[in-house]
Amino acid sequence: MPDYLALADALVRAGHRVALIDRAEARRALPPRVRALARRAGPDLPQAIVAMRRRQEYDRFVCDSEGIGLPLAALLRTCGAPHGVFLIAHRMTARGKQVLWRSLRLGKQVAGAFCYADAQFECMRRLGFPTKRLHRMPFHADHRFYAPPVTPAESVVLSVGQEQRDYTSLIAAAGSLRCPVRVLARSPWSRFQGRGAPSELPPNVSFLKGVSYTELRDLYARAAVVAVPVEPVDFQAGITSLLEAMAMATPVVATANPGLREVFADGEAGLWVPPRDATALAAAIDYLLRHPTEAAEMGKRGRALIERGMTLDHWVARIVRAVFQAP
């Protein structure tokens, strides 16, 4: 189940009135002229505008990114609305967002911020946001949907996702691997285009298209290793695939970026490699392929980490608790 639906369901079951405003609905709800202006300002603005226009119906807003939360806070502050905005601060280290935050004094309108990475948590502190309204929490995987398979894995490497992916390094690494490498370079959330698939690929590399979530789960189940090669960034690009693989008890090889590196220790649920290092990436993948017993133990530890604190249920409970404990 998508996390926003799980969150909405939990709120409804707790007796709260809930409305979901998705991107497509927000665009349709705006008059054509306003829609055209909002489109130029960014894809998230229509949701912020629709939420602001419906402010009389609700007393708080929960936004799944600062892309929606910051403009909504600005709009509410402009009209003097008392509503609190709760947002997930994915990448507040971006300079433009910090300028917007400071210049419009948005901290007064934001009732809570959820940070998945230490770098983003510290950024919010430097911006002067009160620590009591800051919530450092891990991301999640749907542990019921992504569960360990009953059939043994094949000698296949899988890589999934689009946001800030470094598939150039993975393709270079694949040249020294003696197994199929399957890449699903897509994401329902990312606008990052990346460098895509080159015109010529090694014979063992294939880029997949048109995969459903059930088919994606089957791909994870068949993979011996999941690779998460990411460009050097300070936010959690790659976290969804990383945690889904861990939930499936599949060992991972991932780029040791700050936001990802906080999830587990090297050798616990997989191996970390330096950014843009195709040689290290190939060596780590090859090691796990040649040591299946050790790799399987890493996979089990990864699943245990998910069950202890990174399930969808954990994520929902933390957000609900923070939203309704806020003044």
Q: 152-188, pLDDT tens digit by residue?
A: 899 999 999 998 999 999 999 999 999 999 999 975 4
Calpha distance 317→7 (Å, rounded): 8
Q: Is residue 151 part of a domain?
A: no
Tell me if 87 sits within 8 A of 65, measured CB to CB: yes
Torsion of CA 265, 267, 270, 275, to 10 degrees: 70
Q: What separation in angstroms does the CA of 227 have from each of 88, 123, 157, 170, 230?
A: 26, 29, 7, 8, 10
Q: What percent of the chain has pLDDT over 90?
A: 79
Same domain, 261 and 299: yes
CATH of the domain at 98: 3.40.50
**Is position 149 within any domain?**
no
**Looking at residue 310, what is its pLDDT?**
98
Distance of CA 39 to the CA centre of its chain: 24
CATH number of the structural domain spanning residue 255 = 3.40.50.2000
Report which of 287, 298, 281 is spatially closest to residue 246, judged by C-alpha positions.
298
Is the domain of 190 the same as that of 205? yes
Residues 119 and 166 in one domain: no
- 196, part of any domain: yes
Statement to judge: residues 61 and 177 lie in one domain: no
> 174 with 132, same domain?
no
Tally of domains within the chain: 2
Mean pLDDT across 110-133: 97
- The pTM of the full predicted model, rounded to 2 decimals, is 0.92
268, part of any domain = yes
- Do 80 and 184 lie in one domain? The reply is no
pLDDT of residue 191: 47
The whole-number pLDDT of residue 83 equals 83
